[in-house]
Amino acid sequence: MTVPPAPAVPHPPAERPPAATSTAIRLRARSTLALILVSLAGVIAFGWPLIVDPGSGLAHGNDAPFVFALLLPLLLAVVLAEIADGGLDVKAVAMLGVLSAVGAVLRPLGAGSAGVELVFFLLVLAGRVFGPGFGFVLGATTLFASALITGGVGPWLPYQMLGAAWVGLGAGLLPRARGRTELWLLAAYGGISGLLYGWLLNFSFWPFAIGSGTGLSFEPGANPIDNLHRFALFSLATSFGWDLGRALTNAVLILLTGSAVLGALRRAVRKAAFGAAVTFEPTGPRPVDR
C-alpha cells in the first residue's frame, strides 16, 4: 500500500532585509521634527537683535547671549538623543568618532591666521557623502571636541556648534551631481557657508561689541532693517577679511582634495553598508568523525 504524498504547504515569502544605503544616520519623523525645532530656536538665538521687543530687558541688557548659550546645549542634546534613538548604529558611531577626531585635530592647525580654517571643508564633504543627519551631528561633535582640545569652551561654543551643524546639514541637502559639476557645487557651497558661518557668529556678540552711539552699533528701538544695515556694516568693517579667508580656504581645499576625499569616504560607505541587516545562514550538520 502506497502512502500518498503530503500536500505541499505554501510557505510565506521571506522578508527581504533592508538594502544598504549611504545615509549613515536615518532621520525619522520625530528626529526630523526635533531638528526643525532646534533650528528655529537657533535662528532666534542668532537673530534676536532683529526680532526682540525693544521694550524688553533682553534688548537693553547683556544677558541675551548667555541665556541662549544655556538654552542651545539643551536643545542640541534633545536633537542628538532623538537621532541616536534608533537612527544611529555602531558603524555610524565609529565613522562619526573618526571624522570628529580628524576635524578636532585639523581645526587648531589653521585657525590662527587670516581666517584659514581647515575643518569646514571636511564637514562639507562628509555631509555630502553620509547625508544631512550625519552632517548635522558631525558639525556639532567636531566643534565640541576641538573646544575641549584647545580650551575653547565658553558661551560662544553652543553658537559655534549649531553653526557648524548647519554647515554639515546643508551639504547633505545639496542636489545630486557628479564629476567636476559636483566639485564646483561643493566648492561654491563651502565658500558661501564659510561667509554665512562668520556672519551668524557675529550676531551673538555684535550688540555689545562696540557699545552704542556709532553708525555700527545696535539700536534697541530702531527698525529691524536699519539694525540689519548696521550689522552688515559692522561685519564688513570688522570680520569680512577673516570670513573671506575661511570661504576661500573651503573652496580651494574642496577643489584640490575633493575627488580623493569623496572617493575615500564613498569606499568607506560601501564597506560599512549602512542600513543592511546582518543575517546568519544556517549550515548543515557537521560530519561525525569516526
CATH code (residue 97): 1.10.1760.20
- 17, 77 in Cβ contact below 8 A? no
Question: What does 64-96 look like in DSSP terms, one character per residue?
Answer: HHHHHHHHHHHHHHHHHHHHHHHHB-HHHHHHH
Instruction: Kindly state whether residue 57 falls inside one of the protein's structural domains.
Output: yes
Backbone phi and psi for residue 3, each to the nearest 5 degrees, phi listed first: -95, 125
Q: What is the pLDDT of residue 169?
A: 92
SS3 178: coil
When the pLDDT of each residue in the chain is averaged and rounded to a whole number, the result is 78
**Contact of 165 with 136, CB cutoff 8 Å:** yes
pLDDT in tens, 51-97: 766 555 555 455 566 666 677 777 777 677 767 665 667 787 888 88
Q: pLDDT by residue (tens digit) across 252-290?
A: 999 999 999 999 999 988 887 665 554 545 555 555 555
* Greatest extent of the chain over all pairs of C-alpha atoms, in Å: 111
For residue 153, the enclosing domain spans: 29-272
Residue 151 covered by a domain: yes
Domain-embedded: residue 11? no
**Quick one: which of 19, 36, 38, 18 has its CA closest to 27?**
36
In a domain, 214, yes or no: yes
Does the pTM surpass 0.85? The reply is no
Domain count, the chain: 1
Q: Is residue 136 part of a domain?
A: yes
272: which 3 cell numbers? Answer: 560599512
